[in-house]
Chain A
């Protein structure tokens, strides 16, 4: 990222919107469909530029029939197009699980590799501001569990554009999960087209004492945690997975070989989640390098409460990651979850006013 300091700054949502436009300019096979992609709000503004540029023929809304239309996307991909389907909330992907898991993920394999499904599915995680149990889930683990699906979770505006262009160019079905609370974050985004390769993570901050593996919004929390830990003299290395499937094992293993400690932070639930998978892979492959037990920082095992007081308590953040790190480096007691009132508020969280 250092070499990009001088380049244009843009929001995460603008990076996504620009990626769609550029993908459609470069390749006439690309089109966008989804509920409300052509309405005046354009899925938080992310599809608006593409609709303005290309109109209803290539950016069109669909009936509220998510499962069938996912199958339509597969068929269109099999017949030479490169569809992008958009969901304003990833919770609606549950309606499409048959087509995603039974069909998109397996069609190429079942046909002995004679067909490909170049299909990108964008879905957004909601959070905070009363999104409630059915508008806030973080369901990436469901898709990572299925061979044949690639799963991408960009944390920065730069990656949002580069990973989306890579996903659209990929011949596999890709679940591209965006975080609503990242939409207004700003960062360097080159104006020209570029791709960030799928399956490659990034070291966001180097450190010698502990490896903190994160993705999506938790990368920001982990970076904030690393600042908090600096005053304790703890140097945390922060790894952004970027792509959860395929997972960049070697990047994680190399870091753990160096630091000997691991904390994994995920936006999803702990049980059978992405953090569990990363922990298991590290334990199975570089166990000898570990100087302390692995810790996970994930959602508590409950649906998301809607009321602000419990909602604030529900989400783990930088303080929780810092507490977990202090434990694994032997500087803290077995952590209680810090009370919400004790937590800091990051810039991405300030000024969010809803309604969604």
Chain B
């Protein structure tokens, strides 16, 4: 799954300059482990809410690759019929409840789903995915408070990639301690190596168990890094807000290569197995792009549909 996300986003980055994909794309290349680790710990009927950087979350939750790429191309076959685009991927059938481009905007919605699960008395879990910038918004704090008050089955997952747009966390937060922000509200927090998919899975699994037992919310801070720029396919270290050296250090900690090496060294699979998987993934991505490009645009009368 991590490889599928990586190759999909690399393909998006490659095709973006063609000017056929006319929406702002925010790539999460380098951050795949947190999306996959968290979603692997969830059931199909659990739900997630995401942000403008939502491709990985959508795919990790079981979203349809063809419909996702078609959405980016603004086609009627897209998962949101072309009306959401890259920043608003949604697919209620797989529990991807939507993505907000307003920083921290979807955190309360996840808490709302958790409230619904709690009131209905089932054991489903809701996850709010957001970035380090989202942790600065008041609604994050308000939600920690309310979720704790009601002991709701919600997991707050902060993918801390150190940057909000082009600004480093040190210029925005007095303390680099997002995982501790739940403590005043009684919400336990953990900081995890967000590039270690098994570590993320393990922490998410425990948080999910806590939710299912009715013990309330948890906060996970996944430390990771965004290889590409805030928006679009470029690496943008040339803008000067981060160094090429910093980027290269994080690229050496690639979540996919690290995991592949551990699989090979543990004898679970061979390098040729991995090559074969890579080939299959690339074919799947190519099929999705062909599907998206050849799909029809929405009909003009769809403009005013679904407003009310």
Contact = CB atoms under 8 A, between A and B. Distances in A.
Contact of B111 (A72, A102, A107, A112): A72
A68 interface: yes
Given A112-B81, A113-B81, A71 B115 contact: no
A93 to B, nearest CB: 15
Interface string A78-115: 11110100000000000000110011000111111111
Nearest to B140: A68
Contacts of B113: 75-76, 78-79
Contacts of B126: 75, 79
Interface in B30-87: 47, 49, 78-84
B208 to A, nearest CB: 17
A150 B307 CA distance: 10
Contacts of B116: 75-76, 79-81
Number of chain B interface residues as a range: 35 or more
A148 B138 CA distance: 25
A79 B47 contact: yes
Interface string B83-119: 1100010111000011010100111111111111101
A110 B98 contact: yes
B151 interface: no
A115 B112 contact: no
Contacts of B109: 71-72, 74-75, 78, 103, 107
B180 interface: no
A193 interface: no
Interface string A42-75: 0000000000000001000011010111111111
B16 interface: no
Given A63-B149, A80-B116, A110 B142 contact: no
Given A68-B143, A75-B110, A148-B308, A112 B115 contact: no
Contacts of A114: 80, 90-92
A74 B308 contact: no
B81 to A, nearest CB: 3
Contacts of A238: none
Contacts of A79: 47, 97, 112-113, 116-117, 126
B299 interface: no
Interface of A: 31, 57, 62-63, 65, 67-81, 83, 98-99, 102-103, 107-115, 147-148, 150, 172, 246
Given A75-B97, A114-B80, 9 more contacts: A63-B145, A69-B108, A71-B109, A72-B112, A78-B112, A81-B119, A111-B83, A111-B98, A114-B90
Nearest 7 pairs between A and B by C-beta?
Answer: A75-B112, A71-B108, A112-B81, A68-B142, A113-B306, A79-B116, A65-B142
